């Protein structure tokens, strides 16, 4: 990638508060095309909040967010700050597909219908084209034989793989994962980990909030360790996991590796 190509996502000086509680205190982060960036840290460090701010699911009070070099337009200040351009928000969100911890599949739709719904209703794509793509993606994540079943008939791991196929069906510029394996038992977790590793190997741009340090080390190009709403340390995974400089990161890794 040339230096003239802007990052897919670039965040500068981001602050986010809930009332008097300041969750993000001036965070910088970027993900270039093809990068896998993992966000790690203890509960309450701001990882998921940062991801939701990047996808404009949460309003931030200060700082800049750019998508492929295009800055989000804001109006107001502080807790009154909101995106100024609803069309811009829709355009950005359609290019940043999010996979949540709790799957969020529609229970009244089949798995195939779940995967097809957003490209049909949001993008207005041709039904036959979308269906072919959806079936191929369900094959890709290993549940092509589950197209016509209901979400409740699938295991947690299968539901999460369906959620990943749904995100991919939007053909996004980046995938955002918010603790995608934390609701799964260890055996089912490995089904989802394999899919994420395969996507990383394809060179997809991904932001990954995870408690799984092995996954973060295996798939990431860059790791960001958040502590109390700030970036405590960041760098290549071999550096952060092999030779952490921060005493807080050393402590965090000693606890997670011992768990």
Chain segment 12-34, per-residue pLDDT in tens = 999 999 999 999 999 999 999 99
3-class DSSP assignment, residue 236: coil
The rounded distance, in Å, linking the Cα atoms of 118 and 125 is: 9
Q: Two tokens at 19?
A: 């009332």
What pLDDT digit, counting tens, does each position of 52-76 carry?
Answer: 999 999 999 999 999 999 999 999 9
Q: What beta strand segments (E) does the chain contain?
A: 9-18, 21-31, 36-40, 62-67, 70-71, 74-75, 82-83, 96-99, 174-178, 206-209, 222-227, 230-235
Question: Which CATH fold topology does 9-95+174-258 show?
Answer: Rossmann fold (3.40.50)
For 4, residues 6+ apart whose C-beta sits below 8 A from its C-beta are none
Give residue 187's pLDDT: 85
pLDDT for 258 beyond 70? no
Q: What band does 121 get if pLDDT is binned at 50, 70 and 90?
A: very high
The DSSP bridge pattern shows strands 96-99 and 174-178 to be: parallel
Q: Indicate if the pLDDT at residue 259 is higher than 80.
A: no
2 — pLDDT class (breaks 50, 70, 90):
very low
- Specify the domain boundaries for CATH 3.40.50.300 within the chain: 9-95+174-258
CB 211 within 8 A of CB 39: no
Indicate whether this model's pTM tops 0.75.
Answer: yes
* Burial class of residue 159 in the structure, from the number of CB atoms within 10 Å of its CB (0-12 exposed, 13-18 middle, 19+ buried): buried
Distance CA 75, CA 36 (A): 31
pLDDT at 3: 52
Tens digit of each residue's pLDDT (9 = 90 or more) over 67-113: 999 999 999 999 999 999 999 999 999 999 999 988 889 999 999 99
Pick from 212, 215, 195, 213: which is nearest to 204 by CA? 195
Per-residue pLDDT tens over the stretch 133-191: 999 999 999 999 999 999 999 999 999 999 999 999 999 999 999 999 988 888 889 99
pLDDT digits (tens, 9 = 90+) for 182-218: 888 888 899 999 999 999 999 999 999 999 999 999 9
Q: 218-253, pLDDT tens digit by residue?
A: 999 999 999 999 999 999 999 999 999 999 999 999
């Amino acid at each position: 990638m040339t230096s003239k190509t802007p990052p897919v996502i670039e965040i500068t000086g981001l602050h986010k508060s809930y009332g008097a509680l300041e969750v993000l205190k001036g965070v910088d982060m970027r993900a270039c095309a093809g990068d896998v960036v993992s966000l790690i840290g203890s509960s309450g460090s701001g990882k998921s909040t940062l991801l939701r701010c990047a996808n404009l699911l949460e309003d931030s009070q200060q700082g800049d967010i750019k998508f492929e070099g295009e800055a989000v337009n804001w109006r107001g200040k502080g807790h009154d700050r909101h995106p100024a351009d609803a069309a811009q928000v829709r355009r950005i969100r359609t290019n940043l597909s999010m996979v949540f911890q709790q799957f969020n599949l529609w229970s009244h739709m089949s798995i195939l219908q779940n995967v097809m719904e957003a490209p049909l209703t949001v993008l207005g794509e041709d039904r036959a084209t979308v269906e072919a793509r959806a079936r191929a993606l369900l094959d890709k994540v290993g549940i092509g034989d589950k197209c016509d079943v209901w979400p409740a008939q699938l295991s947690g791991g299968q539901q999460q793989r369906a959620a990943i196929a749904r995100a991919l069906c939007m053909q996004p510029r980046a995938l955002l994962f918010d603790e995608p394996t934390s609701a799964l038992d260890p055996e089912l977790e490995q089904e989802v980990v394999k899919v994420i590793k395969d996507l990383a190997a394809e060179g997809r741009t991904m932001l990954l909030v995870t408690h799984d340090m092995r996954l973060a080390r295996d798939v990431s190009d860059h790791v960001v360790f958040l502590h109390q709403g700030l970036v405590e340390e960041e760098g290549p995974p071999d550096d952060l996991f092999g030779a952490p400089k921060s005493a807080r990161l050393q402590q965090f890794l000693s606890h997670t590796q011992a768990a």
